[in-house]
Structure 1
Amino acid sequence: MTRTSTDRWSAEGGRDGDPLDEADLRLRQRRRFVAVVAVLAVVCGLFGVLTHLQGPKLTDVQVDASAVVERSGQQLRLFSNQALAHVDPDQVVVSPAAPFTVQTSGDVVSVQFTDRLRYDTDYRVSVSGVSSIYQRQTSDLEARFSTEQAVTWRIVHGRDGAEDSLEQADLKGGAERRTVWSAPRIQAYEVFDSAVAVLTDDGEQSTLSLVSLDGVAAETLPLPDGPGLVTQLGADRATTTLAFSWQPEGSEQETLYTLPLQGQRAVAPVTSIAGEPLTVLDWQFVPGLDSVVAQATDEQVTLFDLSGAAPPRPLGTFVALQGVSLDGRGIVAATALQAFRVDLSTGEQTPIPFSAVEGQTPFRGELVAVGATEYVQQVALPTDGGTSFSSLIVLDDEQEARVVFRPPSGSSEIEGFSVSPNGQFLAVETATATSPTDYTYTIDPTPAEVTTTVVDLASGAVVASFLGHAASW
């Protein structure tokens, strides 16, 4: 048999004839281990020095591209590989421009958007001159994201006895509309993240249903005991809370109720300052807050915190509650002589100096406060020496009133309008004067054939047009 090298090693005690004992082997292994650790330490130290000299690096970005167009006060968070020194607002640039505040905490820069952002828009947020708390070497951080495209909802009246439909479609390419729910006499609806609340009635009794967004599942929601009609419906999407005005059979008074969709789903009346169920003339949710502003039957306008954390806060007596601003910071309400902007945090009342429209003083109608001093309003101008009127939609910034919508023909009439939650789009409902209207509808009777035209408020460009009314986003 041929002897192997191992056999020779064993027999000879080593290559040089000098036997290696276990102590020698352990010593050599220990030296190799120390050498490897030393090399790794040098490499890691080198990387640490390079990182230290290069300044902070971006490691992650967090933003909810859907929430930033639905709610104000949303954040973009930029994560760094180092604890950061304070970042000033003048180090941050948002493009396209949008108001913001900035905070620094640990390794995170948080950019909070004051207002809702625009739909279907590419945003870039850059932070320059960022340094760590340990050294002055600076670097720039940049994040890019795209907001979601606008999705519109609408009610389409059925023809020749057919059921009404609730439809959904992308604002762009809206021809691909989808019927989510069909039922007789759809009065109103409110959209949530995973379902839509649909209100129907037979003229004597209302039914409130919660329908999945694919239209497959539906459940009936509770209403106050006894027969009656829901005469106004609203919702706060963030807290998944419904509110509605309830008119019992045989009564002319309407009581404001709430229905949280989380938990027990128990119907409860909103109570007045005196602790009694609140009877109302009008009310609206405050965007971004679990609160409603309501005008009671004595014309007192009050802010109600639905969470119960704060007591009701009176805001004044007005003949009309004209609306809550899109940013949730104020309301517009009017006395018999003057419209006021009312700050919800301070209660301060500021008269609104509305502008002339095409050199005339118009008759003023419904309005939406889209900014601190900006209002979208339907107005009527006298024509033909005052024997007739033309109806327009204007954007008034208290300096100038710019016409943003004019009916396409003299036979078309404006039936109503709404503004997208972020103030980007105006949806105007029009119909011909000869189109028949079913006035037995409890909420917002409209002509059988209504066309909704969507306009970009900034440019005035028409971006969509579709059959239906009560547009929502």
Structure 2
Amino acid sequence: MSTDEPPVPRTRAEMRAAREAAAREAEAREAEAREAEAREAEAGEAEAGEAEAREAAAREAEAREADVTSRGSLSEDGAADRDDTHGVPPDAAPSPEPRVYSPPPPATTDRPTPAEAPPRNRRFLVALGAVLGILVLVGAGLGFVSLTQGPRITEVQVNPEQAIETSGSRVILTTNQALSAIDESQVTVEPAVPFTLDAAGRGVGIRFTVPLDDATEYTVRIADATGAGGGPSTTLTTSFTTPSSSIFLLRRDADGDDTIFRTDLTGENAVPVYAADKINDFRATSTQLVVSVEEDEGSKLLVMKRDGSDPRELKLPGDGYVGAIQVSDRGGYVGYSYSDRELSDTEGRASVLVTQSLSGDDDPVVTEVGGKEANIFVWQFVPDSSAVLFIDFDGALSLVDRSTDAGVQSLGLATTIQGISRGTYTAIVERLDGSVVELNLTDGSEQPLAASNPDYGTATTITPYPGGTLRHVVARDENGIPSGQAIITVDDEGTAIPLVEVGPTDSILQACASPSGQYAAVVIAPDLTDNPYDRMLLPLPEKMETHLLDLRTGDEIVALTGFDASWCQTAPQF
């Protein structure tokens, strides 16, 4: 009989202790795996896949160990039960029924495994590639549309309010692509108005050489415009509407303050903008008013906004008097005739021409001829420039431009300057022999001013405007006494039409046209026998009316009290 001891079965307490030890060991391994995962996550996304693989391996090992432990425990439990209950030796015990073990599912985490999803940097690259692909498709689509539809306007720049007051305003078109060369023949403006063209790249600039009509819709078309890279042609079209005109007038009051007011062309919305005891003269630019105020010690020259606010005084050459104010809107200058208050045969300046900046940043400049201050009989700013045309007391006609160093240019002898056309640099001048000529200020050439048809005789004043002239003519009886006066419109072809006529008791003091030649302002002093002159530096009848007329139809619009319309380049002269 063998003396070997049979295997001693473990008690239930021993088996439970073994199972608990195995569980603690598994939990420790799992905790270690989680800590490793956290360290690897902090190291970066690039190592995430490796940490997850280690975690999966740890769980799989745990599951296998748990399976082994479970199987051993089941066998030992069965033997112990049989021993405790029946006292059967182990070798005599029947084999237990086979049991199927299902390992517990692996613990889930928020992070997908490497087999489930790509790393984050790979997802970013995919998204970036998709966005770039969409942009390429959109760009290709837009390019295709441009090639199939031709150029289009993307932006229009225009200042309609400025366009009715000054020449040289622009419409600037910007297109979606660079354009091939554009000729002026491709451009039309309706209603027709003269213009110049400046086009380059994606921009097309159309400069109007004369002011535009008010309350009018203008349409600009550029036919057969093509892209610089080819493709179909198209017609570029844009429209804009100019605002209604307004006008400034001066109303003198013998018993109170003189007032400058602004009104529309109906006369129903007059608004006073500046008042003073004695306003001698004023002029208006597109942004400012220049006002000459008469005081006992002399004149003051004020510059202010168009609503009369923020007045500031300009420095004068001395203590004296200012007259014949004019402004150069484009050059930013004011000009005037100046005389010292204290004059004698040997001292003091009389009727010298002074120009200075409207900003007041410079000192007044007295015009000189041959190194000496010149006494000026009559003068005018050349429209759309800073040049001055003047006649001195010797009858010499000269031109000087503040913006250049060319000096004074001599243009012969003359008795008066009737006017200077906007946009043409052409002056209407009366020579010493009485002939009236059109003088080209750029080259000095001249030609006789054509007579009107019918011929109304010699005009006392001639005021040019775009498309024609306003001519003031006086009818006289056989004794040479005035029997009536009239303002005649004469177009560029010479056709003359009477616009305003008055009898011998009234007098026409001034006539001027709106900047575009759409309207006319005619100043009439009624009933001269009962209309005394005031005692201002520029003496005028106390009662004056400004008649506004439509030059296209000849119809009168309204008659307003006042004179010195802001459309006029100069004040009335006597």
TM-score by length of 1: 0.88
2:471 to 371, 377, 389: 377
Helix, strand or coil: the match of 2:515?
coil
Please give the residue correspondences for 1:209-248 in structure 2 after superposition, counting only pairs within 5 Å.
209-226=302-319, 228-248=320-340
Partner of 2:193: 98
The answer as to 2:540 corresponding to 1:441 is no
- Counterpart CA distance in 2 for 1:189 and 1:19 is 88
Deviation at 1:23, TM superposition (A): 5.8
**Aligned-residue offset at 1:193:** 4.0
2: CA distance between counterparts of 1:386 and 1:282? 27
CA positional deviation for 1:380: 1.4
- From 360, 365, 368, the equivalent of 1:271 is 368
How far off is 1:151 after superposition? 1.6
Change (3 A) 1:352 1:37: closer
Distance in 2 of aligned mates of 1:410 and 1:298: 34
- In the TM superposition, residue 411 of structure 1 has moved relative to its aligned partner by 4.2
Correspondent of 1:368 among 450, 457, 463: 463
Preserved CA contact (<8 Å) 2:524 2:544: yes
Kindly state the Cα deviation for residue 460 of structure 1 after the two structures are TM-superposed: 1.1
1:178 maps to a residue whose letter is V
Report percent identity of matched pairs: 25
1:334 to 430, 441, 462: 430
Matched, 1:389 2:486: no
Equivalent residue letter for 1:259? Q
Q: 1:292 aligns with which of 385, 388, 394?
A: 388
Amino acid of the structure 2 residue aligned with 1:184: D
Q: Distance in 2 between matches of 1:93 and 1:204?
A: 56
Counterpart of 2:560, as a letter, is F
What letter matches 1:224 in structure 2? Answer: P
In 1: Cα distance, 2:294 partner to 2:394 partner: 29
Deviation per CA, 1:142-193, whole angstroms, max 9, x where unpaired? 111122322211111114x21211111122x322111112222211012234
**Amino acid in structure 2 at the alignment position of 1:390:** G
The equivalent residue for 1:469 is 563
Equivalent position SS for 2:547: strand
SS at match of 2:291: strand
Tell me the distance in 1 between the aligned counterparts of 2:354 and 2:124.
79
The answer to whether the 8 A contact 2:210-2:466 is kept is: no
SS at structure 2 position matched to 1:137:
strand
Q: Tell me how far apart the structure 2 counterparts of residues 185 and 435 of structure 1 sit (CA, whole Å).
A: 22
Matched residue, 2:33: none
1:347 is aligned with what amino acid? G
In structure 1, what is the equivalent of residue 154 of structure 2? 59
Provide the rounded CA distance (Å) in 2 between the counterparts of 1:420 and 1:24. 77
Seen in structure 2, the aligned counterparts of structure 1 residues 9 and 188 have a Cα distance that, compared at 3 Å, is farther
How far apart are the structure 1 equivalents of 2:195 and 2:314? 40
Paired residues of 1:85 and 1:104 also in contact (CA < 8 A) = no
Contact 2:510-2:524 at 8 Å conserved across structures: yes
CA contact (8 A) 1:91 1:128 kept: yes
In 2: Cα distance, 1:200 partner to 1:108 partner: 46
Which deviates more, 451-460 or 340-349?
451-460
**Structure having the larger proportion of residues in helix:** 2
* Partner residue, 2:415: 319
Report Cα offsets for 1:216-266 as digits up to 9, x if no partner.
43333222223x322321111223311111122335831111121225241
Distance 1:37-1:162 versus aligned 2 partners, 3 A rule: closer
Give the Å deviation of 1:463: 2.3
Preserved CA contact (<8 Å) 1:170 1:177: yes
Assess if the C-alpha contact under 8 Å between 1:287 and 1:328 holds in 2.
no
Displacement of 1:42 after TM fit?
Answer: 2.5
Deviation per residue, 1:268-327 (Å, 9 max, x gap): 20121x122121101000111111101011111111111243221111111222222233
The letter of the residue matching 2:260 is L
Report 1 or 2 for greater relative contact order, CA contacts < 8 Å, sequence distance ≥ 6: 1
Letter in 1 for 2:366: P
TM-score, normalised with respect to structure 2: 0.73
Match for residue 441 of structure 2? 344
Tell me the residue number matched to 1:419.
Answer: 513
Query: 2:292 aligned to 189, 193, 199, which one?
Result: 199
Distance (whole Å) between structure 2 residues aligned to residue 39 and residue 212 of structure 1: 54
How far, CA to CA, are the matches of 1:404 and 1:9 in structure 2? 108
Q: Is the 8 A contact 1:288 1:328 kept in 2?
A: no
Residue equivalent to 2:571: none
Number of residue pairs the alignment of both structures matches: 457
2: CA distance, partners of 1:363 / 1:123: 38
Alpha-carbon contact 2:303-2:358 (below 8 Å) kept: no
Asked if the contact 1:13–1:19 (Cα under 8 Å) also holds between the matched residues in 2, the reply is no
The structure with more radius of gyration? 2
8 Å CA contact retained: 1:192, 1:240: no
Q: 1:13-28 to 2 correspondence within 5 Å? A: 20=115, 27=122
| Distance (Å, rounded) in 2 between the aligned partners of 1:282 and 1:240 | 21
In 2, Cα distance between equivalents of 1:79 and 1:313? 41
1:400 corresponds to: 495
Could you tell me how far 1:414 is from its partner in structure 2? 1.4
The match for 1:282 is 378
Unaligned runs of 5+ in 2: 1-55, 57-103, 568-574
Cα distance in structure 2, aligned partners of 1:79 and 1:308: 33
Task: Name the counterpart of 1:169.
Answer: 263
Cα offset, 1:201, TM superposition: 1.8
Q: How does 1:172-183 map to 2 (within 5 A)?
A: 173-183=266-276
Shift of 1:470: 0.6
Larger fraction in strand: 1
1:138 aligned partner, one-letter code = S
Q: What CA distance in whole angstroms lies between the structure 2 residues aligned with 1:260 and 1:447? A: 32
Deviations 1:69-103 (A, max 9, x none): 23323221111000001122222221111112223
